[in-house]
Structure 1
Amino acid sequence: MKNKVFFLAAFLFWASFSVFGQDTAPVKALATEHRIVYDMSAADTAQHAGLMRQLNNIKRAWPEARIEVVVHGKALDLLVTEKSYKAEALKALQGKGVVFAACENSMRARNVTKAQLLPGVITVPMAIGEIIMKQEQGWGYIKY
């Protein structure tokens, strides 16, 4: 019986060192490249304004984050020079490295030419295809 008590006490003594002896320093965040693709298809200008705020928040926290906003459907007006009421905000975000991509399928359906797009906006053949390719490359996806 004494041997069992001795071994139990020895085990508990050893276990306390492995629990209490652990390093309690905060864990450093792993360095990672943040890559985010946004899917914007809503015509709602309040959503457009919210998107601009969210993009600025991300770039403030993660200045090196790679962000692409794929715009299609009724949201295309966000990128059209004569219709966008967020042109200045968009230009400022482009200056921070945010890429805005217009869907060529949506452009054809809405009779929008590349010349009508805001400066610096790129085009992609199809929005869904662009989003899928980004996801396949490990980009985080956000539907906005």
Structure 2
Amino acid sequence: MKWLVYMYPKSWRRRYGNELIEVLNQTDKSFKTVIDLLLGIIDAWHIELSERDIYGYRISQALVLITLINVFIILKVNPLKEVILVEQVAMFAVLIAMLSLFLAIVTFIVSLFKFGVKEGFSLKTKLSKTSLGLMGVYAVCITTFLVLIN
């Protein structure tokens, strides 16, 4: 029955694998236990796959939205230089960029301390992905700033 533990996702096995093996050693090997394990495997994979899809989709939606807002600002503000002070909009863009850079650095440092250097530099953790997304926001806002000041 220990072989059923290896059907769980890798991240789940790292977190709960040893505990499950200990519980399996203490329980009887019945048909009900096998069914419970199979249902647990299905549930663990469902959670694993839905978290990956939903999180990546949310980050990409946020980056697309921020990019569209910045493109709209560039297209609408440049022709209206007399009506709107472009410097104020550019200042707002650079403030958002600096805030996102600060948050990206803080998130990256937290990822390094929480998961270690190897996992912190990979894109396997949500904190690393969030840090990368915030760097994307920084790049888009700085580009908007540079376009507006020229």
TM-score, normalised on structure 1? Answer: 0.25
Higher RCO by CA contacts (8 Å cutoff, separation 6 or greater) = 1
The higher radius of gyration belongs to: 1
Q: How high is the TM-score relative to the length of structure 2?
A: 0.24
Richer in strand (by share): 1
